[in-house]
Structure 1
Amino acid sequence: MGLIALPFVALYLIWVFNKPVRALYTVLYTGFFANGMIRYSTAPFGLSIDVFLLITLIAALAKPQKGRSALLKNPFVYAIAVWTAFTVFEIINPEARSFAAWFYSVRGTALYMMQLIILTILLIDDKKGMLKFVNIWIFCSALAAVWGMKQLYLGVNHAEQMWLDAGAYKTHLLFGRLRVFSFYSDAGQFGAAMGHVLLICLILSLGPVKRKFKLGYLALSVFFFWAMAVSGTRGALFVPLSGFMVYLFLTKNFKILSIGIAVVGILFGLLKFTNVGAGNYQVQRMRSALDPNDPSLQVRLDNQKKFAAYLKSRPIGGGIGSAGSWGQRFSPGTFLAETPTDSWYVKIWAETGIVGLWIHLGMIITIAVTGTVMIFRMKNDLHLRQISMALFSGYIGIAFASYSNQVIGQAPSGIVVFMSLGLIWLAYKWDKAAQLMDTNEIKQ
């Protein structure tokens, strides 16, 4: 098999070294399918992202573009670099039980973030590349939603049934109903990803595009909303809600923002204080997300109290890879491995302590503030600004949703989010260059 594959590998390498950005798009495609492929084989598909990132990096270094490295001097890269440096420092954490656990976990915790934003900035050099990224994202998401529809109405296949039987049924079969997970790692990731792309399509439909594109984006928004609902992921609801509020703020139309807040308030009131849609299972799941007495929420809060007591004497945490699935694999039986973190931020807190949590939150806040300023300053290309607002709103939405699930550290959400940040910075620079060009023409 290796000999048969060899010529195809050689052709692929020639293809990507001729144009390194192709390798970056390969990483994007791989992010959507790698986790699902694990159900069909024992091959380490999770490491395929690392392999393609390495190929992308080598190709980018082998064919550098003059002046591109200067674009890496920006607040996004600096903020992520500080966080990445801290995660490297965590190697010497005296509480850490396993270097192997750190190696496997740090990839999604920091290294992917750093590599993706740098490679995006170095390799995508125009608006066409930005649109290609968005189109690949929407296309793969639509495939995932269609596969989810197949699971719901036609049933899961043998490999998916084996995965459910191995233990996933405990969280994916509730009251006899399947929480759709498509070819993603789980229903939580699928739901958040659908909420994410729903938000993107909705915002793009409101931009300066032709009528046929507006209708297409709106239709996709409805389809992705359905996909988000059948995932049964309650936290996914906060991706489009929080993200759309950010979008309305970025438009600087505070009248529309007030209307948007009122609409969200009405939706909140219908879910919180009425029984509207009580006969629909998906509506019931969404409504339970707003119930402070929800049993699963109470379990999470109890676990957080346990973490608080444990971490009181551990300011830099128990070491990266000590909690969650990596903890169960490399240090089973320990407190951090056996206590569910659920939230991305609780995971960061457990593994890097209060010091690491504040550094991580500092990174997110820095990106949020500087991204807002950049978009406010974009004035030349309204379509480019609309895409940037969509990508930035999606980042904020995923950051909010990561309080209940670890979506920002998983593929494909983590990949599209940090590629999005690189593209927002590039869009800002392109718009700034266009403004400067227009100013020079006026002077002449």
Structure 2
Amino acid sequence: MPGTVNKYGFKGNNLLLYFSLLVAVLATSYATVVLGPEKGVVVVMGLVALAVGIIAINNFVFAFYVSTLLSFFIFFIGRYLGDSMPSGYWIDLLILLSFSGLILHKVRLKEPFFYQAQHTITTIYILYTLFLVLEAFNPWMHSMAGWFLIFRKYIQFLMIYIIAINVFKDYRSTINYFKFWIGLSLIAGLYACYQQWFGFLPFEEAWIMNTPGRKGLYILVTGVSRRFSTFSDPAAFGIISAASFTFILVLLVSAEKFRTRLLLTVAAVFIILGVAFSGTRTAYFIIVAGVALYILMTITNKRTLVFASLFVLGFLVIMFGPIYGNATINRIRSTFEFSEDASLEVRDVNRAMIQPYIYRHPIGGGLATSGIQGLEYNPGHFLAGFPPDSGFVKTAVETGWVGLLLQCLIYLIALLAGVRAFYHTEDKKVKALILASVVCCFAFVIGQYGQVAIGQFPGCFLFYSCLALIVKSKYLQAENKNP
């Protein structure tokens, strides 16, 4: 007989779950005693994965939370195990299970698939999906495997977007997820501080030194090491943490309760320290861009004027204060000294060189044809090995100026929808969440100019959850009016 379902979706009388736990305990004990500790660990991991999978297919919300959690630490686990496990596949599987659980949930409730997801953002993403399907017939592309790799990842992002829309059932469930995200971001920031103050752990040091070319990217010529926390690399850590910082900053300035402001301040401090220690110039820049948008959207607010004054003062101190021996401060300053940035000059040269190719190929050279992916999937292609060094450039060379226009249209529509929702919302709490989401999405979009900022773990969960929040904002607003 089915039991009651609580607000998180768990069934109170689930005999299958209890039986699975009993079997897991017995099997773990047997494996540890009979097979030995090492094989016992493998059995334990397999049983945990099986249990999580069973729960996930029955509870898509649980699976969404677990996949978000795993995306923060999967690279750390991979480094600890010596890159002996295909880390990304575990998250892929969890997202797929969550999406499958969502479909089953809708079938049981006889609910339309796009319930409360009918929005211009959803429509433009569906159109972009059709465009990527047509890219499979790009005559310049040599590998269908490369196309499938990129298309599969894109579909995964759409799954995150659709799942998030359904996870955000009301204001409480929405704010709970972002509290969860902020907590994980704080842990990542704290660990980056640990790496900065106490150094890398032995297995992290070995991971850096054992791969050709990695040492030069992670340890600068000045001798300063770039910190990456639990993420895949310093650039991903810096950009995703910077976007999270802008999200937290908006909530911090908007918060009314002292306890909330205190907790958000602690999180913001350690996250911004992590961003600084990552040595990622793009991350420094997108914080300034995100704050600038926040100030423009709330310029008539007294708190905004005070915050803007303090932010500008702090920025001027960092840029022109009498601090000369701090390597982190010097790298931040170099971000805004464009004329002296050698790496920026190299990128400008590469972009100028590739522009004629983009003009001649309106649908690009095909998916997975540039950079390292091009060398792996499309060797001999004109773009193979070409370093895009930018999300926009990668889109332009692989999907042409048509694809670039579509991508820019997606970002424009999303930001305009967010701005419109912000000005049409009266509830202060929902209004703050919308504003934080708009500023965060804008930070990611700006980051696309310098790096491939959108689409990396765990940042894809934040970006597409912010889009989902914008889509659901009118429903959250209505529910708050009639609690």
Which residue of the partner structure matches residue 193 of structure 1? Answer: 240
1 or 2 for the larger relative contact order (CA 8 Å, sep ≥6)? 1
State the partner residue of 1:202.
249
Give the Cα–Cα distance (whole angstroms) in 1 for the partners of residues 389 and 469 of structure 2. 30
Q: 2:119 aligns with which of 63, 74, 79?
A: 74
- Residues 31-430 of structure 1: pairs in structure 2 closer than 5 A: 31-39=71-79, 40-64=82-106, 65=109, 67=111, 69-108=114-153, 110-165=154-209, 166=211, 167-174=213-220, 175-251=222-298, 253=300, 274=320, 276-293=322-339, 294-332=341-379, 334-380=381-427, 382-430=428-476
- Is the 1:79–1:367 Cα contact (8 Å) retained in structure 2? no
CA–CA distance in 2 between the matches of 1:221 and 1:7?
37
Structure 2 residue aligned with 1:16: 56
Offset at 1:302? 0.6
How many residue pairs match? The answer is: 434
State the secondary structure of the residue aligned to 2:229: coil
After TM superposition, give the deviation of residue 275 of structure 1 in Å.
6.2
For 1:77 and 1:286, the matched residues in 2 are separated by 37
Kept in 2, the 8 Å contact 1:209–1:383? The answer is no
Aligned 8 A contact 2:188 2:271 in 1 = no
Instruction: Check whether the contact 1:112–1:415 (CA below 8 A) recurs between aligned residues.
Output: no
What is the CA–CA distance in structure 1 between the aligned matches of 2:299 and 2:121, rounded to whole Å?
23
Q: Which moved more, 1:179-188 or 1:331-340?
A: 331-340
| Residue-by-residue CA offset, 1:220-277 (whole Å, 9 max, x unaligned) | 21211111111111110123222222223333626766776676666666666x4643
SS of 2:183's equivalent? helix
Check conservation: 2:249, 2:268, Cα contact below 8 A: yes
Name 1:441's counterpart in structure 2. none
The residue number in structure 1 matching 2:65 is: 25
Distance 2:467 2:64 in 1: 15
Tell me how large the CA RMSD over aligned residues is. Answer: 2.4
Moved more, 228-237 or 258-267: 258-267
How many angstroms does 1:152 deviate by?
2.0
Check 1:266–1:334 CA distance in 2 against 1; reply closer, same or farther (3 A cut): farther
Whole-angstrom distance in 2 between the partners of 1:333 and 1:153 = 45
The answer to whether the 8 A contact 2:417-2:470 is kept is: no
Tell me, in whole angstroms, the C-alpha distance in 1 between the residues paired with 2:281 and 2:327.
Answer: 12
Q: Hey, what's the Cα distance between the residues in 2 that align with 1:371 and 1:189?
A: 25
* Aligned 8 A contact 1:245 1:257 in 2: no
CA contact (8 A) 1:81 1:114 kept: no
Displacement of 1:9 in angstroms is: 4.0
2:421, 2:43 → 1: CA distance? Answer: 50
CA distance in 2, matches of 1:268, 1:106: 41
Give the distance between the partners of 2:120 and 2:67, measured in 1 at CA. 24
- The whole-number CA distance in structure 1 between the counterparts of 2:315 and 2:360 is 40
Larger radius of gyration: 2
How many percent identity over aligned positions?
A: 25
| Residue identity in the other structure for 1:245 | A
Deviation at 1:154, TM superposition (A): 2.4
Cα 1:66–1:277, aligned 2, differ >3 Å: closer, same or farther?
farther
Distance 1:42 1:333, change over 3 A: farther
Look up the equivalent residue of 1:52 and give its one-letter code. L
The whole-number CA distance in structure 1 between the counterparts of 2:258 and 2:374 is: 51
- Runs of 5+ consecutive residues of structure 2 not aligned to the other structure: 1-38
Tell me if the contact between 2:170 and 2:479 (Cα under 8 Å) persists in the aligned partners: no
TM-score (norm 1): 0.90
Under a length normalisation based on structure 2, what TM-score does the superposition of the two structures give? Answer: 0.83
Give the Cα separation in 1 of the matches to 2:456 and 2:362: 25
Contact 1:77 1:117 in 2 (8 A): no
Cα drift, residue 400 of structure 1: 0.7
Q: Tell me, in whole angstroms, the C-alpha distance in 2 between the residues paired with 1:335 and 1:286.
A: 35
| Cα separation, 1, equivalents of 2:78 and 2:136 | 28
Q: Report the more deviating stretch, 6-15 or 413-422.
A: 6-15
- Is the Cα contact below 8 Å between 2:253 and 2:304 reproduced in 1? no
- Return the letter of the residue paired with 1:392: V
Contact 1:24–1:56 (8 Å) recurs in 2: yes
Deviation at 1:66, TM superposition (A): 5.1
Distance 2:384 2:77 in 1: 25
Between stretches 120-129 and 341-350, larger displacement belongs to 120-129
Q: CA–CA distance in 2 between the matches of 1:299 and 1:84?
A: 33
* Structure-1 separation of matches of 2:256 and 2:307: 22
What is the CA–CA distance in structure 2 between the aligned matches of 1:325 and 1:140, rounded to whole Å? 30
Question: What is the rounded CA distance, in whole Å, between the counterparts of 1:85 and 1:285 in structure 2?
Answer: 42
Q: Distance in 1 between the 2:439 and 2:146 partners?
A: 33
Instruction: State the distance in 2 between where 1:366 and 1:74 align.
Output: 10
Judging changes above 3 Å, is the alpha-carbon distance between structure 1 residues 259 and 350 closer, same or farther for their aligned structure 2 residues? farther
SS of corresponding position for 1:336: coil
Give the Cα–Cα distance (whole angstroms) in 2 for the partners of residues 324 and 266 of structure 1.
40
Structure 1's 256 and 150: CA in aligned 2 closer, same or farther, altered over 3 A? closer
- After superposition, the C-alpha distances for 1:150-188 in whole angstroms (9 at most, x for unaligned) are 322222234322332212111110111100011211111
